[in-house]
Structure 1
């Protein structure tokens, strides 16, 4: 009876991982989009007075409210994926996989905190902090997001694809997609606006694949037990 219970519990892991990844992808994409729209990265695109607009402040507040939940679902996604790999994982690759995921979340939270600082400088409405303060907060937020968080996301994508390939749980096309996304996150994101959305898009594809595979193999595995 005990082995059957363990098998039944293991069958739930891929589906739980997929659902967590879907929620993470949606929340992160929404947060990035709102921040991009509310705090433009281009020089001179937004003045301190312009950011006093209530719609921009509301967009940033909504994005900041989504970021902690995106981080929580990402950690859950990492945890259940690692649990699914189990003892078969490569310890070296798995360590980089886990470390890059944790640093990504830390960097993402740092970027959100910097964006919150930009928001708080202009409140209450009518307070003019001066453009140097706005520029510092804006550059700091985008540097944390594009130069640090997304490059850790690149390492996470690469190691996930490597583990999936070595264990035979990812098809060739998904492994190649992960490699392309990792290269884009490493070298393209800092120079091209909106390119960071490739990471939540990749997470959504991986999660969808896990959901499809787990839904296909679940009944067969249950019958075999």
Structure 2
């Protein structure tokens, strides 16, 4: 009897996966900016009783970007884990993956709430009722700035801890990650626009992963 052995093939992470973080950062930042400009929060919101048609279209555009941002974020999570490799700690890796999944769920929930408010049944050509609009606005902002950003802080912190312990990230990038964690935990819910530090950090990390991947490819011996 002859037994035929087949070489074990492993799936390789595509190089384009590293760019997913860049796309995610740009989409999430664009959605946040559009929502902030169209639906102010705090003192500015007093002057905006209900959104005019132009503001509603800006919010709808932002909401259309959120699902794609979530999809690219999952690819970004995979690219980070691929960059870490098999040396990742199970505990930190579980926190990292879990916080990323919960963050995705939170931004989807916030987008769904905002979309539901805009699509609430009301006479054609008029805005949603004031109680409906206030409830939807506060709930969406609470989900985004109160919960999603906290999960983003855990995600950023765990990624920075992994990068620091395994020394796969430069010191300056881990310091930026820890600073981003503090801002997301204690500042983002009180200071408008503070949540933009998360897509900014994601952009920096994605660019570093892409550059590091090209460097490894260039340094690898030709087979």
Q: TM-score, normalised by structure 2?
A: 0.89
User: Measured at CA, do residues 35 and 76 of structure 1 come closer, stay the same or move farther in structure 2, by a change above 3 Å?
Assistant: same
Q: 1:92-117: CA deviations, max 9, x gaps? A: 00000000000000000011011112
- Figure out how many residues of one structure are paired with residues of the other and give that number: 216
CA distance, structure 2, for counterparts of residue 222 and residue 146 of structure 1: 47
Partner of 1:209: 208
Shift of 1:36: 0.9
Partner of 1:46: 48
Partner of 2:3: none
Q: Is the 8 A contact 1:122 1:128 kept in 2?
A: no
Shift of 1:124: 5.0
Q: Is the 8 A contact 2:122 2:128 kept in 1?
A: no
CA distance, structure 2, for counterparts of residue 38 and residue 122 of structure 1: 21
Q: Which runs of 5+ in 2 are unaligned?
A: 1-5
| 1:20 matches 2:25 | no
CA distance, structure 1, for counterparts of residue 123 and residue 23 of structure 2: 33
Deviates more, 1:181-190 or 1:111-120: 111-120
CA distance, structure 2, for counterparts of residue 175 and residue 2 of structure 1: 39
Q: Which runs of 5+ in 1 are unaligned?
A: none
Three-state SS of the structure 2 residue aligned to 1:169 is coil
Q: Which has the higher helix share?
A: 1
Shift of 1:211: 1.5
Q: Is the 8 A contact 1:31 1:66 kept in 2?
A: yes
Partner of 2:94: 95
CA distance, structure 1, for counterparts of residue 96 and residue 198 of structure 2: 15
Shift of 1:85: 2.6
Q: Is the 8 A contact 2:117 2:136 kept in 1?
A: yes
CA distance, structure 2, for counterparts of residue 167 and residue 202 of structure 1: 19
Partner of 1:80: 79
User: Measured at CA, do residues 87 and 212 of structure 1 come closer, stay the same or move farther in structure 2, by a change above 3 Å?
Assistant: closer
Q: Is the 8 A contact 2:66 2:108 kept in 1?
A: yes
Three-state SS of the structure 1 residue aligned to 2:47 is coil
Q: Is the 8 A contact 1:17 1:207 kept in 2?
A: no
CA distance, structure 2, for counterparts of residue 141 and residue 213 of structure 1: 37
User: Measured at CA, do residues 150 and 219 of structure 1 come closer, stay the same or move farther in structure 2, by a change above 3 Å?
Assistant: same
Q: Which runs of 4 or more aligned residues in structure 1 lie more than 6 Å from their structure 2 counterparts after TM superposition?
A: none
If you compute each CA radius of gyration, which structure gives the higher value, 1 or 2? 2
Q: TM-score, normalised by structure 1?
A: 0.88
Partner of 2:34: 34
CA distance, structure 1, for counterparts of residue 215 and residue 122 of structure 2: 52
Q: 1:159-195: CA deviations, max 9, x gaps? A: 0111111121101100000000010000000010011
